[in-house]
């Protein structure tokens, strides 16, 4: 193949990116092991080496590590000790605000490691999730470190959950399509049983239904229709409507007041990630805080409509790959999806 062939250039670039992230992941895994904290790799090298060939231009942007929830804070400290800084200061956030994962990054080269306490779409508590997945794990080499990763049923289940979480992005659907093409039905049946154990059936079905082959498999497996509102909203990428669902599920006047207060006035670390303006010193942070209530009010009508639509019994939606089902764009700035907080 010619060295100027775009496919060769893309493959070399992807390989370089994989090496960089694998090196960062090995450093993180080593730090966790030194602190006595076990971990499981999600996606990344375990998927790339399983479903892709070396010449494929398949890269990954970060290393995703699931850790025991009781050791999560210790894991953050262990990574901080080897140069990875958390993007958000979770100690100043209420428990409901904390997401399934916390991104940490290394300032000298921008390498990222996402520490997971849970997986979106899973409804059992984080401790049960960890005990279930870690009980049946396989090994994979990352850098020069031997790490643990999900067993095959866990990997294909996670492929479906990840497609549902991100509304069927092109990258996620490519992974799912390869898994549907290459993995036997007995393994998918085991994945469905695992999803049932973890109370993740809705997200599992939603993810499968985003591809015709997956929808056919869901029928053969006898999976029930999707009823969970949060799963439907994620599949439609209606992230602001997820806040409406969370408010709806919050019980008590004081709890709801706290929800609204934290929604309108989040911690500064969140604001700096959410808004480029907030990263421009104290004045920029103040202006971002002043703008945030306006931002929320402008999006509230559409969020309420999306939430109301998600209450109605309907067939599982199949969003277009790489785009929002409603044609809207995601918030700019590269920050978190604040409607999901």
Rounded-to-integer distance, Cα 272 and Cα 87, Å = 9
Q: Show me where the domains of the chain are located.
A: 1-149, 151-226, 239-340
Average pLDDT taken over every residue of the chain:
85
**Over 80: is that where the pLDDT of 338 sits?**
no
Hey, what CATH class is 1-149 in?
alpha beta
User: What mean pLDDT do residues 65-91 have?
Assistant: 92
pLDDT in tens, 1-36: 455 666 665 665 666 667 778 888 889 999 999 999
Q: Given the structure tokens 């890269």, which residue do they identify?
A: 59
User: What mean pLDDT do residues 318-334 have?
Assistant: 36
| 14 against 138, higher pLDDT | 138
pLDDT in tens, 102-136: 999 888 878 889 999 999 999 999 999 999 999 99
Confidence of residue 55 (pLDDT cuts 50, 70, 90): low
pLDDT in tens, 228-255: 999 999 988 888 898 999 899 889 999 9
CB 107 within 8 A of CB 80: no
- Read off the pTM: 0.82
User: What mean pLDDT do residues 197-224 have?
Assistant: 96
Rounded-to-integer distance, Cα 206 and Cα 195, Å = 12
């Amino acid at each position: 193949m010619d060295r100027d062939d775009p496919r060769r250039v893309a493959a070399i670039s992807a390989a370089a990116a994989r090496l960089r992230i694998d090196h960062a992941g090995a450093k993180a895994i080593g730090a966790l092991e030194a602190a006595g904290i076990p971990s499981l790799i999600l996606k990344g090298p375990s998927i790339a080496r399983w479903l892709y060939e070396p010449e494929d231009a398949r890269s990954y942007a970060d290393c995703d590590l699931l850790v025991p929830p009781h050791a999560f804070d210790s894991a953050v400290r262990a990574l901080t000790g080897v140069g990875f800084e958390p993007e958000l200061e979770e100690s100043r956030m209420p428990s409901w605000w904390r997401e399934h994962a916390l991104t940490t990054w290394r300032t000298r080269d921008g390498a990222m490691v996402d520490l997971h306490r849970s997986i979106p779409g899973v409804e059992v508590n984080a401790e049960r999730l960890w005990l279930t997945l870690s009980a049946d794990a396989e090994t994979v080499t990352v850098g020069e470190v031997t790490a643990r990763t999900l067993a095959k049923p866990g990997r294909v289940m996670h492929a479906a959950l990840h497609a549902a979480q991100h509304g069927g992005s092109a990258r996620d659907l490519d992974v799912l399509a390869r898994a549907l093409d290459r993995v036997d039905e007995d393994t998918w049946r085991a994945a469905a049983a695992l999803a049932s154990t973890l109370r993740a059936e809705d997200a599992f079905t939603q993810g499968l239904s985003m591809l015709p082959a997956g929808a056919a498999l869901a029928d053969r497996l006898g999976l029930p229709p999707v009823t969970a509102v949060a799963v439907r909203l994620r599949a439609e990428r209606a992230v602001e409507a997820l806040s409406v669902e969370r408010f709806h599920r919050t019980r008590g006047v004081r709890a709801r007041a706290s929800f609204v207060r934290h929604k309108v006035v989040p911690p500064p670390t969140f604001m700096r990630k959410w808004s480029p303006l907030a990263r421009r010193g104290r004045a920029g942070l103040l202006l971002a805080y002043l703008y945030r209530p306006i931002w929320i009010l402008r999006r509230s009508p559409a969020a309420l409509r999306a939430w109301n639509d998600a209450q109605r019994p309907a067939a599982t939606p199949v969003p277009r790959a790489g785009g929002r089902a409603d044609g809207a764009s995601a918030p700019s700035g590269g920050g978190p999806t604040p409607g999901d907080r």
